[in-house]
Amino acid sequence: MARKKWVFQPTDKALAKELAGECGVDPMTALLLAGRGMCDPFEIESFLNGDQPMADPYELPDMQAAVERIRLAMDRGERIAVCGDYDADGVTASAVLFTYLRTAGCDVVCYIPERLEEGYGLHRATIDALHQMGVTLIVTVDNGIGASEEVTYAAPLQMDVVVTDHHQPGPVLPSAVAVVDSYVGMPEDCFADYAGVGVAFKLVCALENCPCEALIPQYGELVLIGTVADVVPLQGENRLLVQQGLQCLAASRRVGLQKLMELARIDPASLTAEQVAFTIAPRLNAAGRMGKSMRAFDLLTTEDPTVAAQLAEEICRENTRRQEVESAVSQACQAAYMQSKACRHDRVIVVAGDDWHHGVLGIVAARLCNQFGKPAVVLCKNGAVAKGSARSLDGFNIFEAITACSHLLLQCGGHTLAAGLTLQTDRIDAFREAINDYAARRGPRPLPQLVIDCKLNPAGVNDHTAYAVQSLAPFGSANPVPKFALMNMRITALTPVGNGHSLRVSLARDGVPVTCMAFGTSLQKFAFAPGDAVDVAIVFRHGTYKGNPTVTAVVQDVRPAGLPDDFWDDMLLFEQFGGDLPLTAAQRRHICPGREELAAVFRYLRKTPELALPPDILAMRLPAPLNAGQLFVALCVFEEFGCVRWSFDGELLHLSFTAPEHKFDLADSSVLYKLQHDPVM
């Protein structure tokens, strides 16, 4: 995982104390909420109690027209097709609308395209097939906003289309009977950030003409899964949907979900949104990624326990296979990217390969984005055409970036953090150049950040703090698990646990001991040793052991104590320099190492000729600490003289030092000359 810049939320203890008194909440809870910008007592009480009313479905654009056309079809006995998407959001959205229409006595069918054979969205072939089945009304869920040509194609066939979606529209809207999408015709500050399933649920509430709260018991678990799976902000109404959906899922009568939770070893009594995101959603997604998308839909809608058990077992097997394929493709992508010098200065990762499984490209792109801290596009070449997926991080709208390169594409769609695209294979290099040019024009790329809610004294690592934190749940996008920083701690012991795959990290400061768990980290991979002074970021994880509740402090990140908070900003200056982008004279001086700094790097590497170490740790271990820009420039200088081979995988610097056969003069360095003499801004 990419090394992250620590960013500390503002903390105002006086304000927190005042809010705690007014709202009757724990001072730590008030401190966390105030740090996240929630300073109004009414807003805090509403957030914690979840008692605000849900929005009227008719606030969504075109809802009235959608309801009128669907009711007309119901009254006439028309055959209706629900056309969904193959991911967990689309499948749950399909299940919500299909179940409602079936229960209402409608003649309804569901169609979900195959990811591998058909791809995303509504297609002409689908419309033809539905026409042959006698369908006269298509209702899309979680797709359709980009289906202008397909909607037009359906009209001469006497087929109407109602679009419900939550993706950003293109320049031309479909000429559908209704387009229910919160991005259409709404001011930016009024966007309802529903997932596709949220919009489908709103449609059902409008059709039933009742408050949304009344239908939560019937559909709450489906809305929960799709909302969490699509990583929409867990604020406002989405938070309510997830809170109440967790209760519905714990008591769900849907036999498919019961069997799935049983196989995933989920205890319904202690369900969390994180468990849904990391256990249920990936399994539902795996059905479409690895084969037939309809299996997940059938699992959610079947009432036959035998069928449910068979489908749940099959989907879990597919998820295991998905993990194996994903791992292989990830390794191939990482190798391809690391072998190119583009990895040192490109703002956007673009990798392409043959025969990569289409079903895992989005997950692999997310992995690359996570590992390198950059937006990533992963493409699979299939003859003359390549298809792929893109993922991004906060601060870089990948959909806008890809749209800016639309002249090179055959098709694209998506939203801020995720997108899909199709282009001719011979245009991949041009696309890589174009999207990186677009990113460069937008200035320094956003750094991956670890947002720390507050610094914590060692004595504050206790159950009281942990349970104050839990009052903010459910956690997810826009409401992350609170993170705490333990500053200037001394490592007293490192103990391997779990067959050596995890570590118990013992810390102390001012005589106060703290024990944390670093899961998935072996002793060999841990970059620090007993005696080191470190800053440690932790979260509290709640669980059960032998039926009793437990709380564990879990390590999220470790950095050298005293590391400047702007350390990683200087790496961006190096990237600009390496990518031949302009720097000011002051910026060039800032990342240009002097002879003393270069000598310190040389001596350190000579003593340790092979190492894999995070850059911040290496920089802080040098006799004269360097900023990140100086460190990377120094490595480039020694690389050009043949002393060093190096690469950076987003987390670790991999270094190999070879003593030079002959002396060299730093005055001959083209890297230093370019840094000191090239034209400046």
In the chain, the domains with their CATH numbers are 5-50+450-560 (2.40.50.460), 57-251 (3.90.1640.30), 340-441 (3.10.310.30), 569-677 (1.10.10)
Interatomic CA distance for residues 215 and 352, integer angstroms: 45
Specify the DSSP element, H or E, that contains 420: strand 418-424
Q: What is residue 517's three-state secondary structure?
A: strand
pLDDT reported for residue 624: 79
Residue 113 DSSP one-character state: -
Q: What is residue 538's three-state secondary structure?
A: strand
Q: Which two tokens stand for residue 679?
A: 């034209």
Interatomic CA distance for residues 330 and 337, integer angstroms: 11
Interatomic CA distance for residues 647 and 653, integer angstroms: 6
- Residue 562 amino acid letter: G
pLDDT reported for residue 188: 60
Interatomic CA distance for residues 180 and 431, integer angstroms: 33
- Residue 602 amino acid letter: F
Interatomic CA distance for residues 286 and 293, integer angstroms: 8
Q: Cis before residue 474, ω within 30 degrees of 0?
A: yes
Contacts of residue 277, Cβ cutoff 8 Å, sequence gap at least 6: 228, 229, 231, 476
Residue 478 DSSP one-character state: T
Interatomic CA distance for residues 256 and 652, integer angstroms: 43
Interatomic CA distance for residues 666 and 669, integer angstroms: 5
Interatomic CA distance for residues 571 and 347, integer angstroms: 12
pLDDT reported for residue 435: 97
Do β-strands 502-509 and 533-545 pair in parallel, antiparallel, or remain unpaired? unpaired
Q: What phi and psi, each to the nearest 5 degrees, are found at residue 8?
A: -100, 130
Interatomic CA distance for residues 107 and 419, integer angstroms: 34
With 0-12 / 13-18 / 19 or more C-beta atoms within 10 angstroms meaning exposed / middle / buried, residue 590 is: middle
Interatomic CA distance for residues 205 and 201, integer angstroms: 6
pLDDT reported for residue 625: 81
Using the structure block, give the residue that is written with the tokens 């956690």: 475
Specify the DSSP element, H or E, that contains 483: none
Q: What phi and psi, each to the nearest 5 degrees, are found at residue 327?
A: -60, -45
Q: Which two tokens stand for residue 432?
A: 């890589």
Could you tell me which of 177, 219, 160 has the C-alpha nearest to residue 195? 219
Interatomic CA distance for residues 167 and 158, integer angstroms: 26
pLDDT reported for residue 445: 86
Q: How many CB atoms lie within 10 A of CB 437?
A: 13
Q: How many CB atoms lie within 10 A of CB 121?
A: 22
Could you tell me which of 318, 478, 445, 325 has the C-alpha nearest to residue 375? 445
Could you tell me which of 666, 647, 665, 669 has the C-alpha nearest to residue 656? 647
pLDDT reported for residue 187: 61
pLDDT reported for residue 542: 86
Using the structure block, give the residue that is written with the tokens 């009480």: 45
Regions of the chain short of the pLDDT cut 70: 1, 186-192, 341, 678-681
Specify the DSSP element, H or E, that contains 417: none
Interatomic CA distance for residues 382 and 390, integer angstroms: 18
Q: What phi and psi, each to the nearest 5 degrees, are found at residue 434?
A: -65, -45
With 0-12 / 13-18 / 19 or more C-beta atoms within 10 angstroms meaning exposed / middle / buried, residue 303 is: exposed
* pTM of the entire predicted model: 0.89
End-to-end CA gap in the chain:
34
Interatomic CA distance for residues 350 and 61, integer angstroms: 37
With 0-12 / 13-18 / 19 or more C-beta atoms within 10 angstroms meaning exposed / middle / buried, residue 554 is: middle
Interatomic CA distance for residues 412 and 488, integer angstroms: 48
Backbone Cα Rg of the chain:
27
